Amino acid sequence: MLCRQDDPAALARRNAGTSAAEIAAAALTHFNKDQRFAVTTDQVDLATPHPEIALYDALTAAFQIACRQRLGFAAARRGGIVGFCLHAEKMTEEFAALYVVPTPLGNMADLTRRAEEVLRTVRWVAAEDTRHSGPLLKQLGSQAKTLPAHQHNEHEAAARIVERLQAGESVALISDAGTPGISDPGARVVAAVRAAGCKVVPLPGPCAATTALSGSGLLDEHFLFYGFLPSKGGQRRHVLEELREHPYALVFYEAPHRVLETVADLATVLGDRTLVIGRELTKMFESIHSCPLGEALEWMKGDPNRQRGEFVLMVSGAPVDADDGEGERVLKLLLAEGLPVKQSAKLASAITGAAKNALYERALALKAE
Which residue's C-beta sits nearest to ligand SAM?
178
- Bridge partners, residue 312, by sequence: 253, 278
Minimal distance, residue 180 CB to ligand SAM, in Å:
7
Q: Which of 250, 311, 316, 356 binds ligand SAM (CB under 6 A)?
A: 311
Residue 3 touches ligand SAM, criterion: CB under 6 A: no
Letters for 53-82 (x = contact with ligand SAM by CB under 6 A, - = none) are: ------------------------------
Minimal distance, residue 252 CB to ligand SAM, in Å:
8
Residue 190 touches ligand SAM, criterion: CB under 6 A: no
Letters for 244-273 (x = contact with ligand SAM by CB under 6 A, - = none) are: ---------xxx------------------
> In sequence order, which residues have a C-beta less than 8 Å from that of residue 310 and are 6 or more positions away?
105, 208, 255, 256, 279, 280, 281
C-beta closer to ligand SAM: residue 265 or 321: 265
Letters for 98-137 (x = contact with ligand SAM by CB under 6 A, - = none) are: -------xx-------------------------------
Q: Which of 59, 111, 162, 209 binds ligand SAM (CB under 6 A)?
A: 209
Minimal distance, residue 168 CB to ligand SAM, in Å:
29
**Residue 312 · residue 253 · CB < 8 Å:** yes
Q: Which of 310, 317, 328, 354 binds ligand SAM (CB under 6 A)?
A: 310
Residue 348 touches ligand SAM, criterion: CB under 6 A: no
Q: Which of 130, 282, 290, 307 binds ligand SAM (CB under 6 A)?
A: 282
Count CB neighbours of 195 within 10 A. Answer: 10
Minimal distance, residue 350 CB to ligand SAM, in Å:
37
Q: Which of 145, 237, 283, 346 binds ligand SAM (CB under 6 A)?
A: 283
What are the residues binding ligand SAM (CB under 6 A)? 105-106, 175, 177-179, 182-184, 207-209, 253-255, 278-283, 310-312
